[in-house]
Every structure is written in structure tokens, then in C-alpha cells.
Structure 1
Amino acid sequence: MKFKSPRAPLGALLFASTIAVSAAAPASASTEACGRASWYALTSKTASGERMDPAKFTAAHPRLRFGTRVEVVNPRNGKSVVVRINDRGPFIKGRIIDVSKAAARELGMIRSGVAKVCYKVVS
């Protein structure tokens, strides 16, 4: 004889609702953020499969969909640029986005290599 737990349906319901909340949270949490950014100028393939071009306005983000357009603002000097997400990263703790060299030049962060920025998804 099999033992049936009276809590199984409730547990399954709680598990399913946790998954639904977890799946929705990262998308809304990552549409706007502030933190440290860096830049990179490799010419290898990106996670999206295209070749990285340091002259284009692109960026790496850990979760946003490839092709998402993001406005990145450097609050220190007020400069901003719109970049397209085409890679995954950054892989250094405390950084929220990696931008291409061209984007970094527009933001005024080439010399420093890193800067505090804020970003928001624009499309």
C-alpha cells in the first residue's frame, strides 16, 4: 500500500508559484540598474555568434536577450549611448555591464577602464 501525503498538492502548488515568480523577477529587475561597467575590445566571437566589433555600440549583459537596446548613462559627466546586447558578461563581481570600446569612448570611460553607470532598456 502506498502512502499518500495530504501535503503533496499544496507543496506542488507552492513549487509552481515559486517558479512563476522566479521566472518573472529577473526580467523586471534587469530593465534598469546602476553599478560599475567596464569596456572590452576583443575581436572574438560573442555569445550571440557574431564577431565582436570594438567600433560598434554593443555590450555584454548576463541576462538580457540578444538584440535588446539599452541606454547607458555615465552620471558623472552626463554622457549617454544606446548599445545593443550581443554578448554575455561581465564575469567580474560587482560589474553590471561591459560595453564596447566605441561605447566606452562616448561615455568618457576609456582612460579609467571602469565607471559607474546606469542603464535602462529602451527596446
Structure 2
Amino acid sequence: MANVSPLLTFIVILLSSIMINHLPVASSKQWCVSMQTAKDEQLEDNIGFACANGVDCRPILPSGACFKPNTTISHASYLMNSYYEQHGRTNNSCFFFFPNSAMLTSTDPSYNHCIYK
């Protein structure tokens, strides 16, 4: 047992590292969404800001995947997260641009065909 081949040792280490690298890992992804306590006026401003700054707002239009539920909070959440995603998922791209109305969640807010990236 003391004469373990260096090649065999290498193979065992290699296979172990491959197996470890393929173990499932909990996601640390976060999404920027509307706070439940946010005022509609602030959320409407957030929608306007996102749409004016490069976010594709078509998904919240009546024919879009994220139109329903047709609520300000739902539409704002989708667009706020889109802005957050497009700007590197930084705290600034969530909290600075959507003050007093944004929060981060680790629960994927996607539903039906409305996919949050």
C-alpha cells in the first residue's frame, strides 16, 4: 500500500476535482424589484426612467409577456430588474436609481412567460 503510483495518485486527484466542480451550488443571483410599500407615483417614475434609459419596455405592453398582472408594481418590478441586469447588477443600479422603492430578492420573480433575467 505504501507504493502507490504517482500516476494513480494524479488520476484520483483529477477525478475528485472534476466531481467537485460538478456538484450543484446554490445560486446567489439576485433580482431588483419593487418594494411592496412603494408609492404608485414613485413606481411610475421608475417605469419612465427605465424606459427612457434603454430598457426594452415592450414586455409590459398589453401584448407583452409581462403585461399581466396589469399593475404598476408588477410592471415597475420587471423594468427595474431589467435596468439592474443591464447595468451590471450593482447595488447602485438598483438602489440609487430607484430610491425608496427598490429591494433585492434572491427569489426568482419570473412567472408564466414573464422571465426576469
Q: By the TM > 0.5 criterion, same fold?
A: no
Q: TM class, shorter-chain normalised?
A: 0.3 to 0.5
- TM-score if structure 1 supplies the norm length? 0.34
Name the one with the larger helix percent.
2
Larger Rg: 2
Name the one with the larger strand percent.
1
- TM-score if structure 2 supplies the norm length? 0.35
